[in-house]
């Protein structure tokens, strides 16, 4: 259902949305949307959307609670040569929601990675359960928007859903194995690496570059994102020394020099990939005077085919001069990033994903039993009495309703009640004045500590509580 | 001097480099490089480089200690429509270095922003002085590479310079007003905003968008990067309500809806830019079914011309569908970013730059007088004696050479000397055994505290120090 004018537009729209779902249920139909762009399935093929372009076939599934983001991403993906298995615009999620699609896509053999733009999650508990199971099958990458206060407000007027707290989502994502990206750009940087590359066996990266500066930039990025620049074995270094020109750098980053022909790249890549201490490879190419980017890209693709179990990513840097190479890499399933930093960041997340998978046993998400009725009662009474502050006893009731252990406390409204309460609690006791007019009890002598007998309680009541200070019109 | 084979290649090369500089000096010539790509001046015009492309004219000056980075950036800039005033490949900086060029470019009327890729700085003190003066004239943006330990090592084999500590550079950049980018991508994201847009008067951003999701993404980015989503005035909101369709969002982000024609964008932008509480504007456009990106871009350019004093940046998101619009924006000096997060980040840095400039009085960079000769003497003696640890007295000498106040301490090698030393220091004194073989003095009873007289010093010397424990072959 593509049309807008439902939950996102207010209470009238919500009524319409409920009626719509009822009609669907009655006739055994499932519903995507409303207020969405529709859905695309590349392999059926089916384009049940009003997106102006149809994406290339690929193995990334993309779910989005923003239809416009889909049109942008599809248009971008055509140029970048990125392909999708399914694209789903979720809209208001009146019936089918993000959880349903994550579950279905985790079982879809065409889909290698699920990438999701999420503003809010509907069925929290079910989402956690499904996400935990699904992310064992394949990586789920998300960008959660509405994480700032202002962003959350904007979400509620967009799809009418609650954005929820940043911390809560972070905890849920962390524990269910969902990988959170920091930006749309990172979401797809990761999706491309995760959908095309094997998981590396460790964090040790080799860099082959035809330029010193970008090699250093990659080195810094390793340190920033928690990858190691691999220590090459003496055998590898010797092989490189024998095979490369004298001025090359044989330590990592391996600098094949600015005049490097495709052959020299091939030799360096093959030697680096054979080193057991190297878990993944980044190939950097800057278009210098005699560089042949497209032929170098062909060598990258071949090297990648020879060593299938190690991830290879590229940073062919530039514009027109590298565009042919970038297209070739894309089509062959080797992600290219315009700058080395983004390549390193993607590989780093892929390495960490591998480590997390090895750990297997994930934490569980705790749920707490809360006496919601009890809390509501206290708050409604305060509301009825037009109070903006809760009495101490009321605050304690709320804490207790949330399962927190608190000191026992009884409200006494006479001297006799006070003695009785003190006996029930057991000596020693503390006495505090309770009044909605008094916020700072000690200022008015309204706190007595360490009372050890009936007499002391009676005395305290007489002396302090029976003669209210001027600011204290009523004693509790 | 383009040729390599100088300082970066070892001691023989260094000799050659020195000889080269001498020749230049003798004949009154200044030298760029060696080991560089050369330089380009767009307005002369002069291309004294072996870069395969000549950049568009523009007002960004780009200095780089990596020539290959220049070839990549130039190639990229052609496609993105970004223009340069000067491009300088610094190479080994045998004669002219980064400081010389920063000074010259800060006085060049064609240059509005200096963007620099820096691996290391040569003349530290002069750099600080020049940078402080130059950054008062125009923004200096840098990416400092080699900030990780591994990166610093790679720098030394690249241009033969020392990368220096990350903290030291951060402090120098901060105090001289240099703006540090985190990545190459950010360096040019900032350069484009700083070179085309006025400095905003505050941090309040208005967002006009044809899509809810990207609006929320921009909102989150504001919170992350320290911009405010501007509170629109009641007048503005009323005007928007009167001018836009009912389903639009009149609060910020202003959502002109997915079917927004160029006219509707124009109305929304004009109203937002007139609000005094709005300091800058981000225009987001996603290519939906009926969107006309190029015509919308034309309206952005016109709106920008009507309100010159407020920065306007764009995020037209997508590929082919927005490429015409992006080119048009670029040529008109309105930077476009492929995703809203990067647009917000650039505007945020521009706002902070404005605030820093208002503060005017910058901190000064302290310099310390160090007795380097004294330090060298101590270290050389330890080296001669093949010691890996310093004696306590030696460590104290070094601390004193750095100007740190330390307790007075005299080395005594006999009982008489100990008494004399104690008298010179003044009672009470402490006595500690000094021996290169003893690291943990208290373990062998080698520390006596609070000695108040000649007698106590003599006693301590006899009892403890005259009978060396087995691990203590020599007493100092």
pLDDT digits (tens, 9 = 90+) for A154-200: 666 665 555 567 788 888 898 899 999 999 999 999 999 999 999 99
Q: Report phi then psi at B226, rounded to 5.
A: 80, 30
pLDDT at A394: 84
pLDDT at B472: 41
Instruction: Check whether residue B321 and residue B444 sit in a common domain.
Output: no
Instruction: Check whether residue B349 and residue B385 sit in a common domain.
Output: no
Contacts of B146 in chain A (CB under 8 A): 216, 219-220
B340-369 burial, b for 16+ CB within 10 Å, e for fewer?
bbbbbbbbbbbbbbbeeeeeeeeeebeeee
Instruction: Check whether residue B115 and residue B55 sit in a common domain.
Output: yes
Q: Which of B372, B376, B377, B378 is nearest to B390 (CA)?
A: B378
* Confidence at A474, pLDDT banded by 50, 70, 90: very low
Whether residue B398 has pLDDT greater than 70: yes
Last residue of a domain, one of B196, B223, B253: B196
Q: Where is pLDDT greater, at B357 or B104?
A: B104
Q: Do B321 and A75 touch (CB under 8 A)?
A: yes
Q: Which of A205-219, A230-244, B410-424 has the lowest mean pLDDT?
A: B410-424
- DSSP character at residue A305: H
Share of residues in chain A with pLDDT > 70 (%): 92
Question: Is B91 a member of any domain?
Answer: yes
Q: Which residues does A72 contact at the CB level (< 8 Å), separation at least 6?
A: B211, B214, B286, B287, B317, B318
Q: Which of A151, A229, A341 sits opposite B223 (nearest CB)?
A: A151
pLDDT at B476: 35
Question: Is A156 a member of any domain?
Answer: yes
Using one digit for the tens of pLDDT, what is the confidence trace for B461-475? 877 665 555 444 443
Instruction: Check whether residue A111 and residue A213 sit in a common domain.
Output: no
Half-sphere exposure of B383 (CA within 13 A, CB side): 6
User: And the tokens for A66?
Assistant: 């923003």
Share of residues in chain B with pLDDT > 90 (%): 58
Question: Is B223 a member of any domain?
Answer: yes
Question: Is B1 a member of any domain?
Answer: no
Whether residue B255 has pLDDT greater than 60: yes
pLDDT at A465: 62
CATH number of the domain to which B209 belongs: 3.40.50.261
Q: Which of A395, A421, A399 is nearest to A410 (CA)?
A: A421
Last residue of a domain, one of A362, A390, A424: A362
Instruction: Check whether residue B65 and residue B22 sit in a common domain.
Output: yes
Contacts of B9 in chain A (CB under 8 A): 247
B54 vs A: CB within 8 A = no
Whether residue B231 has pLDDT greater than 70: yes
Chain A residues 227-256 with CB within 8 Å of chain B: 229, 247, 249, 251, 253, 255
A142 vs B: CB within 8 A = no
pLDDT at B53: 85
pLDDT at A361: 54
A232-262 burial, b for 16+ CB within 10 Å, e for fewer?
beeebbebbeebbeeebbbebbbbbbbebeb
Left if phi > 0, otherwise alpha if psi is -120 to 50, otherwise beta: which for B5?
left
A215 vs B: CB within 8 A = yes
Using one digit for the tens of pLDDT, what is the confidence trace for B373-388? 888 888 888 888 888 7
Q: How many domains does chain A have?
A: 3
Instruction: Check whether residue B318 and residue B335 sit in a common domain.
Output: yes
Instruction: Check whether residue B322 and residue B224 sit in a common domain.
Output: yes
User: Which residues are A100's β-sheet partners?
Assistant: none
Last residue of a domain, one of B362, B380, B410: B362
* Confidence at A363, pLDDT banded by 50, 70, 90: low
* Confidence at B312, pLDDT banded by 50, 70, 90: very high
Task: For residue A312, give the 3-state DSSP assignment.
Answer: strand
Q: Where is pLDDT greater, at B18 or A165?
A: B18
Q: What is the pTM of this model?
A: 0.77
pLDDT at B163: 55
Task: For residue B259, give the 3-state DSSP assignment.
Answer: coil
Using one digit for the tens of pLDDT, what is the confidence trace for A413-463? 788 888 888 888 888 998 888 776 666 777 677 788 888 989 888 888 877
* Confidence at B171, pLDDT banded by 50, 70, 90: confident
Task: For residue A30, give the 3-state DSSP assignment.
Answer: coil
pLDDT at A435: 73
* Confidence at A300, pLDDT banded by 50, 70, 90: very high
Mean local confidence (pLDDT), B6-17: 87
* Angle between helical axes of A184-196 and A340-359 (0-180°, round to 10): 60
Q: Do A289 and B52 touch (CB under 8 A)?
A: yes
Mean local confidence (pLDDT), B34-61: 92
Q: How far is A82 from chain B (nearest CA, A)?
A: 12
Instruction: Check whether residue A334 and residue A404 sit in a common domain.
Output: no
Q: Do B4 and A247 touch (CB under 8 A)?
A: yes
Question: Is A330 a member of any domain?
Answer: yes
Whether residue A43 has pLDDT greater than 90: yes
Instruction: Check whether residue A125 and residue A94 sit in a common domain.
Output: yes
Question: Is A474 a member of any domain?
Answer: no
CA A242 to chain centre: 47
B288 vs A: CB within 8 A = yes
Q: Where is pLDDT greater, at B362 or A453?
A: A453
Question: Is B471 a member of any domain?
Answer: no
Domain enclosing residue B185, as ranges: 7-196
- What mean pLDDT, rounded, does chain B reach? 88
Q: Which of A38-52, A144-158, B458-472 has the lowest mean pLDDT?
A: B458-472
Share of residues in chain A with pLDDT > 90 (%): 58
B42 in Cβ contact with B58 (< 8 Å): yes
Whether residue B278 has pLDDT greater than 80: yes
Instruction: Check whether residue A61 and residue A129 sit in a common domain.
Output: yes
Mean local confidence (pLDDT), B156-173: 70
Q: How far is A154 from chain B (nearest CA, A)?
A: 6
Question: Is A472 a member of any domain?
Answer: no
Q: Do A220 and B151 touch (CB under 8 A)?
A: yes
Q: Which of A53-67, B133-147, B369-383, B439-453 has the lowest mean pLDDT?
A: B439-453
Smallest CA–CA distance from B315 into chain A, residue: A72
Using one digit for the tens of pLDDT, what is the confidence trace for A330-352? 999 999 999 999 999 999 999 99
pLDDT at A373: 83
Using one digit for the tens of pLDDT, what is the confidence trace for B63-107? 999 999 999 999 999 988 899 999 999 999 999 999 999 999 999
- DSSP character at residue B462: I
B303 in Cβ contact with B273 (< 8 Å): yes
Instruction: Tell me how far apart the 2 most distant CA atoms of chain A are, in Å.
Output: 100
The owner of tokens 């719509």 is A20
Whether residue A385 has pLDDT greater than 90: no
Q: Which of B45, B49, B48, B37 is nearest to B4 (CA)?
A: B37
Contacts of A258 in chain B (CB under 8 A): 67-68
Contacts of B184 in chain A (CB under 8 A): 217, 339, 341
Q: How far is CA A326 from CA A212, A256, B131, B167, B196, in A?
A: 21, 20, 38, 37, 30
Mean local confidence (pLDDT), B213-235: 94
Give the span between the Cα atoms of A55 and A49, in whole angstroms: 12
Instruction: Check whether residue A327 and residue A192 sit in a common domain.
Output: no
Half-sphere exposure of B312 (CA within 13 A, CB side): 26
pLDDT at B425: 87
Smallest CA–CA distance from A228 into chain B, residue: B150
* Confidence at B389, pLDDT banded by 50, 70, 90: confident
A156 vs B: CB within 8 A = no
Instruction: Check whether residue B341 and residue B393 sit in a common domain.
Output: no
CA dihedral B222, B228, B231, B236 (to 10 degrees): -70
pLDDT at B296: 98
């Amino acid at each position: 259902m593509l049309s807008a004018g439902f939950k996102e537009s207010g209470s009238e729209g919500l009524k319409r949305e409920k009626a719509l779902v009822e009609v669907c249920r009655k006739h055994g139909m499932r519903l995507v949307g409303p207020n969405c762009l529709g859905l695309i399935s590349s392999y059926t093929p089916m384009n049940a959307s009003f997106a102006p372009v149809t994406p290339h076939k690929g193995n990334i599934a993309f779910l989005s609670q923003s239809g416009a983001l889909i049109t942008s991403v599809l248009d971008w993906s055509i140029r970048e040569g990125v392909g999708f298995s399914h694209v789903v615009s979720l809209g208001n999620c009146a019936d089918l929601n993000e959880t349903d699609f994550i579950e279905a896509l985790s079982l879809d053999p065409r889909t290698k990675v699920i990438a999701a733009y999420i503003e809010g999650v509907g069925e929290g508990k079910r989402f956690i359960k499904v996400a935990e199971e699904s992310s064992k099958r394949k990586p789920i990458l998300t960008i959660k928007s509405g994480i700032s206060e202002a962003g959350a407000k904007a979400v509620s007027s967009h799809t009418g859903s609650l954005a929820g707290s940043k911390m809560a989502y972070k905890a849920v994502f962390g524990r269910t194995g969902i990988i959170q990206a920091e930006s749309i750009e990172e979401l797809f940087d990761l999706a491309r690496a995760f959908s095309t590359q094997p998981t590396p066996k460790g964090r040790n990266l080799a860099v082959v570059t035809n330029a010193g500066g970008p090699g250093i930039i990659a080195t810094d990025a390793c340190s920033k994102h928690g990858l190691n620049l691999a220590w090459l074995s003496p055998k590898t270094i010797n092989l490189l020394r024998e095979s490369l020109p004298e001025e090359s750098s044989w330590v990592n980053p391996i600098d094949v020099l600015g005049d490097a022909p495709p052959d020299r790249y091939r030799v360096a890549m093959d030697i680096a990939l054979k080193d057991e201490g190297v878990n993944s490879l980044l190939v950097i190419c800057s278009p210098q005077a005699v560089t042949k980017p497209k032929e170098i890209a062909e060598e990258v693709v071949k090297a990648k085919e020879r060593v299938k179990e190690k991830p290879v990513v590229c940073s062919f840097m530039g514009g027109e001069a590298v565009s042919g190479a970038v297209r070739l890499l894309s089509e062959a399933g080797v992600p290219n990033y315009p700058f080395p930093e983004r390549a390193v960041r993607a590989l780093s997340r892929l390495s960490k994903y591998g480590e997390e998978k090895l750990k297997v046993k994930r934490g569980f998400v705790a749920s707490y039993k809360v006496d919601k009725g009890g809390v509501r009662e206290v708050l409604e009474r305060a509301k009825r009495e037009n109070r903006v502050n809760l009495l101490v006893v009321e605050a304690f009731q709320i804490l207790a309703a949330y399962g927190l252990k608190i000191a026992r406390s009884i409200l006494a409204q006479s001297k006799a009640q006070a003695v009785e309460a003190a006996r029930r609690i057991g000596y020693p006791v503390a006495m505090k004045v309770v009044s909605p007019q008094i916020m700072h009890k000690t200022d008015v002598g309204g706190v007595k500590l360490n009372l050890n007998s009936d007499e002391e309680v009676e005395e305290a009541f007489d002396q302090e509580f029976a003669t209210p200070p001027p600011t204290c019109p009523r004693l509790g």
